[in-house]
Amino acid sequence: MKTVKDYIRTIVDFPHEGILFRDVTTLFADPRGFRMAVDQMLHPYAGQRIDVVVGLEARGFILGGAIAHQLGTGFVPIRKKGKLPGTTISQDYKLEYGEAIVEIHDDAIRAGQTVLVVDDLLATGGTAEAGIRLVERLGGVIAGCAFIIDLPDLGGRKRLEAMGMEVHALCAFEGL
The third-level CATH classification (topology) of the domain covering 48-172 is Rossmann fold (3.40.50)
Helices (H) and strands (E) counted in the chain, each on its own, are 5, 9
Max Cα–Cα distance, the chain, nearest Å: 47
Contact 102, 56 (CB under 8 A): yes
Of 145, 61, 137, whose CA–CA distance to 92 is shortest? 137
Tell me, yes or no, if 17 is annotated catalytic: no
- Segment 113-131 shows an average pLDDT of 97
The burial of 129, by beta-carbon neighbours within 10 Å (0-12 exposed, 13-18 middle, 19 or more buried), is given as: buried
* pLDDT recorded at residue 42: 96
pLDDT reported for residue 176: 62
CA 48 distance to own-chain centroid: 19
Q: What is the spatial distance between Cα 120 and Cα 113, in angstroms, rounded to a whole number?
A: 23
Catalytic residue among 22, 35, 96, 133: 96
Sequence spans of domains, the chain: 48-172
What is the pLDDT averaged over residues 3-22? Answer: 94
- Give residue 175's pLDDT band: very low, low, confident or very high (50, 70, 90): confident
What is the structure's pLDDT at 4? 98
> Phi and psi at residue 93, in whole multiples of 5°?
-155, 160
Q: Give me the phi and psi of 163, to 5 degrees please.
A: -85, 0
- Give the tens place of pLDDT for each residue, 42-74: 999 999 999 999 999 999 999 999 999 999 999
Q: Using one digit for the tens of pLDDT, what is the confidence trace for 87-113?
A: 999 999 987 678 999 999 999 999 999
* Residue 59 annotated in active site: yes
Backbone φ and ψ for 157, nearest 5 degrees, come out as -60, -45
pLDDT over 90 at 22, yes or no: yes
Running DSSP on this structure, what letter comes out for residue 43?
G
- Among candidate residues 17, 35, 49, 59, the one labeled active-site is 59
Flag whether pLDDT at 156 surpasses 90.
Answer: yes
